[in-house]
Structure 1
């Protein structure tokens, strides 16, 4: 995607969001959701805006036709605007999965599900929808149906706009991702796991991985929840903190995974991607056990180089592709 195209797309979202932010006296992210709604409907739908503002918005909207853009071009432009808004947002849960990671997870999902023509997918902590839409955009020629859950109503609204503008079929639920979900088991669960303590001890009591005392770890509960909502033989790709398996309670997570799934892969992301190496993450890939499902001869264990180091990435990608072809031959 050309820089100019990306700049123009970002500029369209940014300029019109700022106009609406001023007019509606709301946050930038709320205004961004409103302008995305206008772009989707092809009209200014906020009744409270003045005639002058309406004309200003229409003039900006006429400068670029989103229907001429690829889904990924829209996602990236919208993502940049969300990132700008998140700099001002104080809530810790308003974080977004870095673009290179989202696209790489999309590539992995494509590899693990290459035998499927139809794919159902769930993100139980969807946030703004950036990870899920990036993964969906990297599954060409497949019939896709996806579900996303988030407790934060603003994030769900942004995910809804994100999906609409990219014409991706995602059913969204504004609820706690660890409550009972109105979703049938899916082929793939993807999630950038919320890390930290889960405040609802009553609901945590429904999980095997609940803490024996005090609050439970949200990221543990989301792994268990993901397994509940995956079909036998389905895959789960989680972005997890590297420190997760060093935590005191990690043996309980390991025991649950051993009971219910096979570890297909653990891909450690380059520490340079994270401001603090203590916050570095890996992609954990699981396959839920089922009839006829066998563990891999050996799991895909990779330390990924910097995504900008093309030579090193090509070498690693060749190794990963070789691993997948070996798995196919094994079958």
Structure 2
């Protein structure tokens, strides 16, 4: 009999049932998380032909313990995220790691601030991975119950987009997912907000990269540079972009070319330095880059917001910085719709 449970209890059911499927079907834990999440969403064991009667009965029994209607979407996201984090401890690529919640909440907070007067909001993440960041933002925006939010996530990796889709289904979010390269032509109408934890490194398709102004003239181009330009293409005039980018990006000789592209199509509003404690090495440090696309009546800010966030966990250190950011955004942002 299902009852009102906790995110930990929901995670325990996802974990226990994923392990049963992992062993029975000889698949990775992450693949099993996808399979068990699909079962839970459909309220049916979909692998009966490949399981023993005892295994199928055990799964069905555990699923009956959970009623998804008893959970808020954000509770489901956290439970699902715990299962994904467990699966990602073993040999996952760096670019496939999930955006930490502390960073996700800051980006969601910033999106909420710039969209404070807008009721209908379209979001895009052109490199969404498991869509943890995207769903964090959507859940935050919908918390007041007044906003109509539609999100689109783009992801090329088969397993990651499958996990993104089933995670969104479990949370009851109306998210569209496109299984394709985020740098291809996207069937997406221009959006109010682009937000993405950008994959870092070289993009292998030089022919496609050549369609971008931020591409290198010789050799492979940086995927994160191209995705920033791609984001600007799919943002409405006056819309906002939030990117998690390498801190060292701004110091490289290559950045001048990207900077010209940003200045051609938009304005840099701010660069927020995240706490060093969030990152294992100096090379891994990231900043939040905030842009606004040019549009009618959209002026460049008098000065770029440069803020150093000392902590995301200590309210006494975080509160004054958020107050400074709030004040700056109030004075320097104009919604383009």
Q: Select 1:78's aligned residue among 77, 80, 83.
A: 80
- Equivalent residue, structure 2, for 1:278: 283
Structure 1, gaps ≥5 residues long: none
Structure 2, gaps ≥5 residues long: none
3-state SS of the aligned residue for 1:233?
strand
- Equivalent residue, structure 2, for 1:288: 293
Shift of 1:306: 1.4
Q: Aligned partners of 1:122, 1:204: CA distance in 2, in Å?
A: 20
Shift of 1:327: 3.6
State TM-score, norm by structure 2: 0.94
Q: Aligned partners of 1:301, 1:102: CA distance in 2, in Å?
A: 19
Shift of 1:13: 1.2
The 3 A distance-change label for structure 1 pair 328 and 176 is closer
Structure of greater relative contact order (alpha carbons < 8 Å, 6+ residues apart): 2
- Equivalent residue, structure 2, for 1:305: 310
Deviations 1:33-68 (A, max 9, x none): 011101111111224222211111112112232221
Q: Aligned partners of 2:10, 2:78: CA distance in 1, in Å?
A: 8
Q: Aligned partners of 1:111, 1:58: CA distance in 2, in Å?
A: 43
2:19 maps to 1:12: no
Q: Aligned partners of 1:326, 1:156: CA distance in 2, in Å?
A: 38
Q: Aligned partners of 1:210, 1:175: CA distance in 2, in Å?
A: 20
2:247 maps to 1:242: yes
2:196 maps to 1:199: no
Q: Select 1:119's aligned residue among 121, 126, 132.
A: 121
CA RMSD of aligned residues (A): 1.6
Paired positions, count: 327
Does the Cα contact within 8 Å between 2:114 and 2:333 map onto a contact in 1?
no
Q: Select 1:324's aligned residue among 316, 329, 337.
A: 329
Does the Cα contact within 8 Å between 2:37 and 2:170 map onto a contact in 1?
yes
2:233 maps to 1:228: yes
3-state SS of the aligned residue for 1:279?
coil
3-state SS of the aligned residue for 1:16?
helix
2:37 maps to 1:40: no
Matches within 5 A, 1:135-154: 135-140=137-142, 141-154=146-159
Shift of 1:196: 0.4
State TM-score, norm by structure 1: 0.95
- Equivalent residue, structure 1, for 2:214: 209
The 3 A distance-change label for structure 1 pair 90 and 327 is closer
3-state SS of the aligned residue for 1:252?
helix
Q: Aligned partners of 1:154, 1:147: CA distance in 2, in Å?
A: 17
